Amino acid sequence: MEIRTHIRLVVAWRIIVISGIISLIYACSYSEEKISHLSGIVPSRHTLLAVTPSLSLQLTGDTLNKSYPQLRTGKAFPITGILRVDGILYRFMGGDSLRISPLASLSEDTVGWTGKYSFLFPGKGWEQRRYDDSWWSEGKGAFGPVKGYYPAHTLWGAENIYVRRHVKVDKKDALRNHKIYVRYVCDDWLKLFCNGKHLLESGFTHQTKCQRLTDEAINQIVDGDNVLAAYCRNTGG
């Protein structure tokens, strides 16, 4: 009885092994055909991030840096991914339309900027583009205590200061359909104009801020010479 049971197990095991070998041989004989068939399947849309069933980021195509991801509604989601390798920035995700192009250099740039300034009230119309500021003093921006929190290049030691900065714009039409921002920092109080048009007022601002210009303010920009004029007041410190 025990011998017969053992023989039956051996026979069953051999049948299973032989069946497995036959299946592998059969699968290998059709592997090339199946692989070539599957290689032609390329999904057109990929889900990059699924936050909720109704909110997800999707990508069309097989390249991350050719276009912006999209929401399920099809609306573009302007997100950009940047990698820094050995000090060089590489864009690996998103489009290139978010690149910021400065219309005028900043004080911490290698080029920097210069402006006309006065510690005394210069008279009515000082903020207008056609105002004659040839008699004003000239200094390199920014203005403030040379050894203060913000890197300044021209000493401002009085309570009030009036600054006029000339900015050249070659092609105003190139600004259409673009967002224009003004970047500023002032401690303590600031009033800013563009070609005589009032842009903003700000109180104690010891950190750099940006504000988007309205369409009305952008319309004040002209081809050629433009003037950013600022009145600043230091109440102490």
What CATH number is associated with residue 181? 2.60.120.260
Residues 229 and 169 in one domain: yes
Residues 120 and 157 in one domain: yes
Choose the final residue of a domain: 29, 61, 93: 93
Residues 89 and 129 in one domain: no
Q: What is the pLDDT of residue 20?
A: 58
Q: What is the pLDDT of residue 132?
A: 93
Residue 71 sits in which domain range?
Answer: 45-93
**What is the Cβ-side half-sphere exposure of residue 187, based on CA atoms within 13 angstroms?**
15
Segments of the chain scoring below 50 in pLDDT? 1, 31, 33-36, 38-39
Q: What is the pLDDT of residue 138?
A: 94
| 173-199: b (≥16 Cβ within 10 Å) or e | eeeeeeeeebebbbbbbbbbbbbebeb
Q: Is 26 a member of any domain? A: no
Whole-number Å distance between alpha carbons of 183 and 91? 24
Q: What is the pLDDT of residue 210?
A: 83
Q: What is the pLDDT of residue 24?
A: 55
Return all residues near 90 (Cβ < 8 A) that are at least 6 apart. 82, 83, 84
Q: What is the pLDDT of residue 161?
A: 94
Q: What is the pLDDT of residue 38?
A: 47
